[in-house]
Chains A and B, each alone.
Chain A
């Protein structure tokens, strides 16, 4: 009995000693495993965010080509359809090179409050590692390429104002300079590090602009108005009827714009999380509500709802919801869209004829006016429940966003942002138009305008019904 007990005690001692030696090894293995798992989770989130962002970038490019190209192309007379397509694809090509060489840096490098620096010239330092100031989960090159698509479509929108009468060479030079002098500073101010209006990075007047209501639509729309006034009316306007040569093409273009806009708005969440969902839902609701109210306004006013009207309404709603997409509740998106549809209808149908300017494709009426309206309404409907964008610097507590949260001050910030966009656009556009006019002249010769730009500027015809 004693020998069995002592053998058992000996075993117990040996076993305990063994345990004592084993315990330090277990925590180290677990810690390594946890670190490995954390890295894998981060990788998975990065992959999810990056794949959505790359898809979004492609969708935004689709908005220019062929979305905008077809939307505008269908609205002009047949003899000018190729000139529109050329101007859009020219932007896709020129702005890409410009962005890579110069304007990405001027927009998104930290510089001063109004413009970025030159550190990223030729995309130096823009690699595959994330820049946490912009997005911690996607490569900086993804961010760069996504933002490029915005830089492409913004000048392309202005094409609508001087359609059917601007020289291709003058358009290329003017819009290149415009991209550098107007778009890039605005993009920096609203989205760039240290930007004057940057809401998420402590700008002096934080302007809520989720996907580019001021940066893209107000700038292009207001610049379009300036272009239309400076260049003057088309030969024969308004006496001659110049109806769209193909509302079918415009319809296809508008639907492609609507689809691509999900990349434009929901992609501005810079990730694949719930904010992207909010922006996606708001985009759809804004478009649909505006399409309905424009169609209703036209039905009441003219007796019939037109295809061109309802697609214009949808585009107006998409424009207006752009600054608000990641800040408002879905029901607010319906309200914003509904107001935009009626407001833009009024701008295009009444205000344009009061003032008599020839904004050929209503770039100002839809983008300028719709963007301005959307920016103001964002200040009203922004809700911190959707996006806690404002936080107390010391405590980290979430602060109210817009008027419905009780923050009336945000309206002032919105007005500042919009006002600055109007100002930069008007001044920049006027100066550049004058400059390009002096150097190479803006308008085509009168006989060429009458003959048509496709043949005279590009030596081509859009359609050949005889071949």
Chain B
């Protein structure tokens, strides 16, 4: 099983959730985040001074999926989150050692 972490534009959250549901992924964790990559921030003006705001609002989606679904999930995310502009975000993959369901102690793939 692998963990997929996707940092996306907040406006794309609904599209990405729907796309993931369509490929059979039902469990995920959504976090509100701030950050930037190579996208610089923007300037705001407050009381006579200009400020560079480089902590931009983002949404982070985390999910742990079985190996056979990973590539489908990644493709779903890429297709639904892309706008073609700087600031679209990134997807990270990492290996997960194990998963355990709290309710009934199920382990491994059955816990996903």
Contact = CB atoms under 8 A, between A and B. Distances in A.
Interface of A: 238, 241-244, 302, 308, 348-350, 352-353, 362
A349 B48 contact: yes
B48 A241 contact: no
Interface in B44-60: 44-49, 51-53
B73 to A, nearest CB: 30
Nearest to B53: A241
A394 to B, nearest CB: 54
B32 to A, nearest CB: 10
A362 B46 CA distance: 12
A349 B45 CA distance: 10
A244 B51 CA distance: 13
Contacts of A350: 48
A294 to B, nearest CB: 12
A259 to B, nearest CB: 25
B19 to A, nearest CB: 29
B45 to A, nearest CB: 5
B13 to A, nearest CB: 19
A308 B47 CA distance: 9
A238 B49 contact: yes
B48 A243 contact: no
Most buried by A among B46, B48, B49, B53: B48
Contacts of A242: 46
Nearest to A349: B48
B48 A348 contact: yes
A345 to B, nearest CB: 9
A241 B47 contact: no
23 contacts: A238-B49, A241-B44, A241-B46, A241-B51, A241-B52, A241-B53, A242-B46, A243-B44, A243-B46, A243-B51, A244-B46, A302-B45, A308-B46, A348-B47, A348-B48, A349-B47, A349-B48, A350-B48, A352-B47, A352-B48, A353-B48, A353-B49, A362-B47
Contacts of A348: 47-48
Contacts of B53: 241
Contacts of A302: 45
Nearest to B48: A349
Nearest to B55: A241
A350 to B, nearest CB: 6
Most buried by B among A308, A348, A349: A349
Nearest to A346: B48
A384 to B, nearest CB: 40
A241 B48 CA distance: 12
Contacts of B44: 241, 243
The 3 A-B pairs with the shortest beta carbon distances in the complex, nearest first, are: A241-B51, A349-B48, A353-B48
A244 B45 CA distance: 12
Contacts of A349: 47-48
Nearest to B41: A241
Given A238-B49, A241-B44, A308-B46, 6 more contacts: A241-B53, A243-B44, A348-B48, A349-B48, A352-B48, A353-B48
A352 B47 CA distance: 9
